[in-house]
Structure 1
Amino acid sequence: MTDSSSDTKDIHRADRHFLHPWEDVTAIGETPRTVLTDSEDIYVTDSDGKRMIDGPGGMWCVNVGHGREEIIEACAAQMRRLSYFSPWSMASDVAANLARRLAALAPGDLNNVFFTTGGSTAVDSALRFAFFYNNCLGRPEKKHIISRVNAYHGSTYLTASCSGKMREKAEMDMIEDHIHFLSCPKPKDRPAGQSLEAFRDEKVAELEAMILSVGPEKVAAFIAEPVMASGGVIVQPEGYLAACAEVCARHDVLFIADEVVTSFGRLGHYFASESVFGVQPDMLTTAKGLTSGYQPLGALFISDRLIAEITAATNEGKGFTSGFTYSGHPVACAAAMANLDIFERDGLLEHVRRIAPYFERALRSLSDIPVISDIRVMGLMAGIECELDPANPDEDRDMAFAARVDAACQRHGLLLRPVYNACVMSPPLIITETQIDDMVRILRRGFEEALAA
């Protein structure tokens, strides 16, 4: 009989050589991580045999659930047929067919699909295309980007510079002279007595004031997540995004929708910008749910209008000299095609739209827990914010409490993702009402145990 605890310790010894994202480099290997070894449906299993609900859905990405043989077989078949092609000089049937399929699903005239390796590289490519576009139009000064506090857009130098999670930027170099941040449009933090409508209008006015302050002739783009995911699932006031898009159009500023998280069913649609928020972006980025995490793949969608304007502005070719060795990788594209087949066959978008109200009601049933200061839910993503003493806020103390909730829930069979002082969830889209009830039952127990600690 195998001693699972010995196996786990051996994995921890090996894992000491894996420098994880966001790792404290002064304490490598000192905090043993949970070792996941198996997965199925909405569940993952650790190296000690404990089965847990995958509350974060991997990292916002395991949309069709774990262990889908259709995707596994599609990847294996593609590897046998064509394992790689150079996107610089060749085409492949699977990448071409995926691009055509995605263009048909995307809103408006977003018919040009630039494949990347993930979300960060998709957003980086969008920002670089904004610069390229303005260079082609003879506007080399139009290079400033407007983002928002608490936004997350990636881990490249450029995308990290545009991310507004300020706690995480202290020891890292960032571009500062061309990146500008608006305050976070988080309704919970609005002044006492201010209506949501007034708060929305204030935040939209802040965007316009920023554009005018920097100069419309200098601002290239405004980038926004439809729901600020890694900021703690921040749901902006109704009408905010559409009003921001109108401001951008009025001042000739590109609107980039960062849908790395919100696309492919998280809010019940393939893309949320137009279907949920009434916005037709100039560019849109996606990743995560595009393959449900089975393979690394991202994409940037560019509008026909931008391509046409570049074409009209020049009498010579203009190469967008950007790309990746694995752009349109055939195995990743095969995973995406099989993933989309599952969406269509199983009616996953309809399932999300049907079950999302149940998910929200179930989570809001926790509002009687006094330490919960805000419950934010949209589609199948949620953030439950914790404040031990709202009159005397202490972020470090509240973060430690959220971590205790996470640990307690994990002991009882539910993985969460602590984001600062919020417990964040984005479960696989295939989740059922019974499984939601299980999640909420464990959540309540986790809060009770953390409060009693």
Structure 2
Amino acid sequence: MAAVKNLKATEQAAGRSGGDAVSMAERHLVQPWPAAGSVGAEARTLIGEGEGIYIIDADGKRLIDGPAGMWCVNVGHRRKELAQVMYDQAMELSYNTPWYTMSTPSAELARRIAGHAPGELSHVFLTTGGSSAVETALRFMQFYNNVRGRPEKKLLLSRGGAYHGSTYLSASLNGRPRDRDWMDGADALVVKLGSPDPFRRPNGMSVEAFGDALVEEFRATVERVGADRIGAFVGEPVQASGGVVVPPDGYLKRIREICRENDILYISDEVVTAFGRLGHVFASGDVFGIDPDMITFAKGVTSGYFPLGGVVIAGRLMEELRRSNHPDAVFSHGLTYSSHPVGCAVALKNLDLLEEGVLDHVRTVAPYFQARLKTLEELPLVGEVRGLGLMACVECVADRESRNPLQLDKDVGNRIDAHCQELGLLVRPLINMCVMSPPLTITKEQIDEMVAILREGISRTMDDLRREGVWQG
């Protein structure tokens, strides 16, 4: 209850209460991803404090932060080291324009990030988050091909189930139907491939054969569209918001080879998987054995303490631009807060924490995390539990034979989340799925607590669905 008293004292000092915050939000705050029926008139769960892997809502309820904020609070809440470096850097240099000045933290961060990147990746462009990181990678591809005299080589290959951002161009890559139901996109620039989700492979097909089919689809698409028109393939090593989809073994390596053979840039979107989520700073090389032409990152680079993202770019691409016949061509792209000194200082300290033990901890507890969650497949509502590292998805289905989620109440994920919140766990609901990606500092005992609550939340949801006649189970 001490946390509640602290929160109330803070609110009283500001002359406002939790109720005031709800009222102000309903009157003035436009939330992300709102429905038209509630846009501009909605309040969401009010969070007051965080501590380690837990958050505390405005009523004082302590919850395990199952999604780690938004896949991002990797080293946990209330890390004094990060708060202190944020203060120290702000007192030394709070901002500098990246158009014609630079700061030491940005140069040092670029060096350290490049040191962790696979293959020829050696240069870093810093942005404000994941969407702007992906947007930067796409615009760099366009600039690169324009300078090289290939203005027609601009098409983008993306996949079903993908999520790459919310800016106009990055969102155009998204492959989840609900992302585009009511939103426009640069459809003429994007060619969509099938989803790499083994759980949704055709009946009777092995995972190996499914992987072969995905590779053949990719190769056939390149031949049909023309490699001379395709600028880049963009793919998450693990599709995060698509439901933690882990592709078949060897699939990414084979796609990488096809890209290399056809001079198509491979952009690995590691906004979620980088900075420890899979036990390494970058998963592309250390987990999947690929060396992309670019890697995008954000979220865990500062553990959510400051907005920051970026793109790591192969040195080869820089050398080709420098050797071009257009030395005066300008990559006219940048952001007011590119290379923000406070964000870069936080990222450096966050990287220290990862290197000094957090990455080792993830590699130690991840098998236990996956094994404990896998036990939830004992529940008849659960079709599959899948994941890698400290990210996992529990997918619910009407029946396991058809793997059909459509006969279920489409709000089943929210139902489970509501029960879990009552029991002390915040879940990331995605229609018929529940995603778990807790802070990387989680212990085995806390994993047990998390899984026990999730089991009970799913069990209560099954009872609700049976009682309402939505599901027979």
Answer yes or no: same fold by TM over 0.5: yes
Shift of 1:311: 2.1
Q: Is the 8 A contact 2:393 2:436 kept in 1?
A: yes
Match of 2:108 in 1: 97
CA distance in 2, matches of 1:394, 1:164: 18
Q: Is the 8 A contact 1:7 1:47 kept in 2?
A: no
TM alignment of 1:242-321, pairs within 5 A: 242-314=253-325, 316-321=327-332
Alignment of 1:62 with 2:73, yes or no, is yes
Match of 1:364 in 2: 374
CA distance in 1, matches of 2:326, 2:199: 52
CA distance in 2, matches of 1:219, 1:445: 48
Match of 2:90 in 1: 79
1:39 counterpart SS class = strand
Q: Is the 8 A contact 2:239 2:245 kept in 1?
A: yes
> Aligned in 2, Cα 1:31/1:396: closer, same or farther, shift over 3 Å?
farther
Alignment of 1:388 with 2:398, yes or no, is yes
Match of 1:403 in 2: 414
CA distance in 2, matches of 1:415, 1:381: 14
1:108-152 CA distances to partner (integer Å, 9 max, x unpaired)?
221110000000000000001111111111000000000001100
1:258-308 CA distances to partner (integer Å, 9 max, x unpaired)?
000000010011000011111100011000000000000001111011111
1:135-170 CA distances to partner (integer Å, 9 max, x unpaired)?
111000000000001100000000000111122212
Alignment of 1:122 with 2:133, yes or no, is yes
Q: Is the 8 A contact 2:109 2:347 kept in 1?
A: yes
Shift of 1:393: 3.2
TM-score for both structures, normalised by structure 1: 0.97
Match of 1:341 in 2: 352
CA distance in 1, matches of 2:344, 2:403: 50
Q: Is the 8 A contact 1:399 1:422 kept in 2?
A: no
CA distance in 2, matches of 1:125, 1:29: 30
CA distance in 1, matches of 2:432, 2:169: 27
Match of 2:143 in 1: 132
Shift of 1:392: 8.3
Larger displacement relative to structure 2 (431-440 or 389-398): 389-398
CA distance in 2, matches of 1:83, 1:182: 44
Letter in 2 for 1:350: D
Match of 2:470 in 1: none
Q: Is the 8 A contact 2:383 2:399 kept in 1?
A: no
Alignment of 1:418 with 2:451, yes or no, is no
Superposition misfits of 4+ residues, deviation over 6 angstroms: 1-4
Given candidates 12, 15, 18, the residue that maps to 2:25 is 15
CA distance in 1, matches of 2:302, 2:241: 20
1:193-226 CA distances to partner (integer Å, 9 max, x unpaired)?
2111110010011111111111100000000000
Structure 1 segments unaligned to the other structure (5+ residues): none
Q: Is the 8 A contact 1:129 1:320 kept in 2?
A: yes
CA distance in 1, matches of 2:302, 2:406: 35
Match of 1:431 in 2: 442
Match of 1:351 in 2: 361
TM alignment of 1:143-222, pairs within 5 A: 143-222=154-233
Shift of 1:312: 2.3
Match of 2:246 in 1: 235
Q: Is the 8 A contact 2:129 2:298 kept in 1?
A: yes
2:121 counterpart SS class = coil
Shift of 1:315: 5.3
1:327-359 CA distances to partner (integer Å, 9 max, x unpaired)?
0001111110111111122x1111111110000
Given candidates 54, 57, 60, the residue that maps to 1:49 is 60
> Aligned in 2, Cα 1:8/1:395: closer, same or farther, shift over 3 Å?
farther
Letter in 2 for 1:281: P
Letter in 1 for 2:53: I
CA distance in 2, matches of 1:255, 1:190: 24
Structure 2 segments unaligned to the other structure (5+ residues): 465-473
1:27 counterpart SS class = coil
Letter in 1 for 2:194: S
CA distance in 2, matches of 1:398, 1:183: 26
Count of residue pairs the alignment pairs up? 451
Shift of 1:90: 0.6
Letter in 1 for 2:377: S
Match of 1:448 in 2: 459
Shift of 1:30: 6.1
Alignment of 1:225 with 2:236, yes or no, is yes
